[in-house]
Structure 1
Amino acid sequence: MTSPFRYTEPIPPKAATGRTAAVYEQLATDFGIEDASPFVALSSAPELLAPTWALLRESLIAGNGSRTGKELAAVGVSRANKCPFCVDAHTMLLHATGDHALAERLAHGKPPENEQHARVLAWGEATRIPGSPDVSTLPFPAEHTPGYVGTSLSFHFINRIVSSLVTENLLPGNVQRFRVVRSLGGRSLAKTVRRRIVPGASLALLDEDETGPGPSWAAGTTVGPAYAALRRAATAGADLLTEADRTLVRETVEAWDGTHPPLGWKDLPNRDDRPGARLALLAALAPYRIADEDVAVWKKPPYTDHCLVHLIAYGAFAAVDRIERALPLRIHEETA
């Protein structure tokens, strides 16, 4: 059977031990899917896997706010990032919430009929543009900001991991494109999705020195420490690059306006000259354009799956950080 993973050989759930096994156990209990590909893709780096799961759990699953609304935000982010895997997955999860008509409208490229749903979806899409005025007016109660913003930033990271390291097909043969499969898949997860999840359980998977208070928009919630832990783990990948390459990545992402780079991207380094910087920048701004040759040139001894996952995560989080820092000040003030 063809593997859904590009460039790595992840640890399958049945072979996992330690912290990786504990994450898989929580995934099965709280998300309903033990072997969810975006997380399995990170399994060679448990120090990345755990905070990635923690941020998603504490925001999308356990955070304040409507699960339907946060799923819509996730779909909006995933559309903006051109991640068909995550668009399909969270369209199916809308079936799990019981919003079947809404899920099918999205699956067929139609806008939500409900104005509130349409505003949340558009807000999620707009978050890709750093500092976009379209995210300054919240389409949800201000007290739900940690859940919605945490969900959106979680998917800005996960979309990039998936587009870099996982194939586009959510299910073999893309069978999720059939309505009956989407509906049955969602219904199989309905009991888990509609269950009330207590915040905080995923933080036990993080070491104390991995966390921190987190950003002001998540103050006083379990989303903050989860975000801080992911930021710390992902930025550690900078050590795989030279100082010159780190500077190039930082300055290029800082100047990014949220658009998708053109095919003739003049600022993208040549793979033979600066392969690490090229991979990190692609992961940040156009992960769906990572080619076999890009990975092959860089991933040579002593680099391993663990190193590749860290480099991709470093690039991915560079974009997340750019987006998070550009959030309109009003969001920060309302939740500080």
Structure 2
Amino acid sequence: MTGPFRYTDPVPPKAATGVTAEVYAQLATDFGIKDATTFVVLSPSPPLLTGAWALLRESLLAGRASRTAKQVVAAGVSLANRCPFCVDAHTVLLHATGDHHLAEVVARGEVPADPGHAALLAWAKATRTGDAGEPPVPAAHAPEFIGTALAFHFINRIVSSLLTENMLPGNAQRYRLVRSLAGRSLSRTVRRRLTPGASLGLLETSGPEPAWAAGSPAGTAYAGLREAARLGGGLLSDEDQAYVRDAVAASGGAHPQLTGDWLPGREERPGARLALLAAVAPYRITDEDVAAWRGPQHTDHCLVHLIAYGAITATEHIEAALTAHREPA
């Protein structure tokens, strides 16, 4: 495939089989976007594809909380992570909810007039640096909002690493009319009530569910994604894995400077460099960074797993900060 994919040749929907085809079919029905590149890019690894889709579906799309409110969180996380593709996508999806003014306010980086939306946007942005605390929502809805935030901390990093910035051909989403029309085309799908848990049967990995999920489907999905993404650590030595974890913790969620000793060289530790960039500054990954690690021995499957390892390392660090104040289950 060509188009938005920077370093991989994913499985196109028309050629997909098995669980990949099942995910694509559920995407088309429940998300309303048949060829969503955010997920297609993960198709070289079905466990990553199923985990990422399940987490997005069970936190953002399904559940009892307001879809508009959760879209504000998705947009806020994407703004904090400097992911223009995802900011544009969630502007369109906010248009799809029918709140066109809110969509454009968020897209401009302004504060929504509604106090609830303003608080959620601020909370979502603060999750990157670990300063967010409990989401400003009823306790029963907290798993959906935490799950949504964690989903997009992971997805933003995948997108910024492996896709171009243009959500639509020719960067057409930069026009307000295009954003509004694209959103209107998805309005019926966005307003549907989905059955929680319908994606969980697709998961190919599993693990212990997080306490914050309180038994919700979002927790099962997060556990599946976490286990699949951790597999990418096997592409690094134990020393390099520790290096990446320590550097992510030391970053404090800040966007690093272009210079400094925080990033290892391409020649000495190319895998650690690529995983660390995916974790803290995926928008700075270059062709040279990928080529220095990849060589002839690493496939698309390897590349998406290494990027996912960096992404989940950062996401787990954010998760720990978000839930540090909670009582153990």
> TM bucket by the smaller chain?
over 0.9
The letter of the residue matching 2:34 is E
Q: Structure 2: how far apart are the matches of 1:107 and 1:325?
A: 28
Shift of 1:139: 1.7
- Aligned residues of 2:212 and 2:323 also touching (Cα < 8 A): no
The letter of the residue matching 2:193 is R
- Aligned residues of 2:69 and 2:120 also touching (Cα < 8 A): yes
The letter of the residue matching 2:139 is A
Which structure 1 residue ranges, 5 or more long, are not aligned?
none
- Aligned residues of 2:2 and 2:9 also touching (Cα < 8 A): no
Q: Structure 1: how far apart are the matches of 2:322 and 2:106?
A: 26
Shift of 1:328: 4.2
User: Identity across aligned pairs (percent)?
Assistant: 64
1:1-336 → structure 2 map (5 Å cutoff): 3-130=3-130, 132=131, 135-207=132-204, 210-330=205-325, 332-333=326-327, 336=329
Shift of 1:292: 0.3
- Aligned residues of 1:213 and 1:219 also touching (Cα < 8 A): no
Shift of 1:138: 2.9
SS at match of 2:103: helix
Q: Structure 1: how far apart are the matches of 2:214 and 2:260?
A: 39
Shift of 1:109: 3.3
- Aligned residues of 2:207 and 2:227 also touching (Cα < 8 A): no
Shift of 1:250: 1.6
The letter of the residue matching 1:63 is G
Shift of 1:222: 0.6
The letter of the residue matching 1:293 is E
What per-residue deviation string (whole Å, max 9, x for no partner) do you get for residues 275-299 of structure 1?
Answer: 0000000000000000000001111
- The verdict on how the C-alpha distance between 1:120 and 1:73 changes in structure 2, with shifts beyond 3 A counting, is same
Shift of 1:137: 4.7
Aligned residues: 329
Shift of 1:213: 4.2
* Structure 1 stretch displaced more, 38-47 or 250-259: 250-259
The letter of the residue matching 1:263 is L
What per-residue deviation string (whole Å, max 9, x for no partner) do you get for residues 187-223 of structure 1?
Answer: 110111000000011001014xx22341111022111
Computed over aligned residues only, the root mean square deviation of the Cα atoms, in angstroms, reads 1.4
The letter of the residue matching 1:79 is L
Q: Structure 2: how far apart are the matches of 1:180 and 1:306?
A: 38
The letter of the residue matching 1:218 is A
Q: Structure 2: how far apart are the matches of 1:274 and 1:324?
A: 27
Q: Structure 2: how far apart are the matches of 1:227 and 1:297?
A: 31
The letter of the residue matching 2:82 is K
What per-residue deviation string (whole Å, max 9, x for no partner) do you get for residues 35-84 of structure 1?
Answer: 11110110111111001000000000013311011000001000000000
The letter of the residue matching 1:243 is D
What per-residue deviation string (whole Å, max 9, x for no partner) do you get for residues 137-191 of structure 1?
Answer: 5321111111000000000000000000000011111111111111110011011
- Aligned residues of 1:41 and 1:165 also touching (Cα < 8 A): yes
Shift of 1:108: 3.1
What per-residue deviation string (whole Å, max 9, x for no partner) do you get for residues 242-274 of structure 1?
Answer: 122112112111222110011113121100111
SS at match of 2:186: helix
Shift of 1:2: 5.6
- The verdict on how the C-alpha distance between 1:13 and 1:310 changes in structure 2, with shifts beyond 3 A counting, is same
The letter of the residue matching 1:195 is R
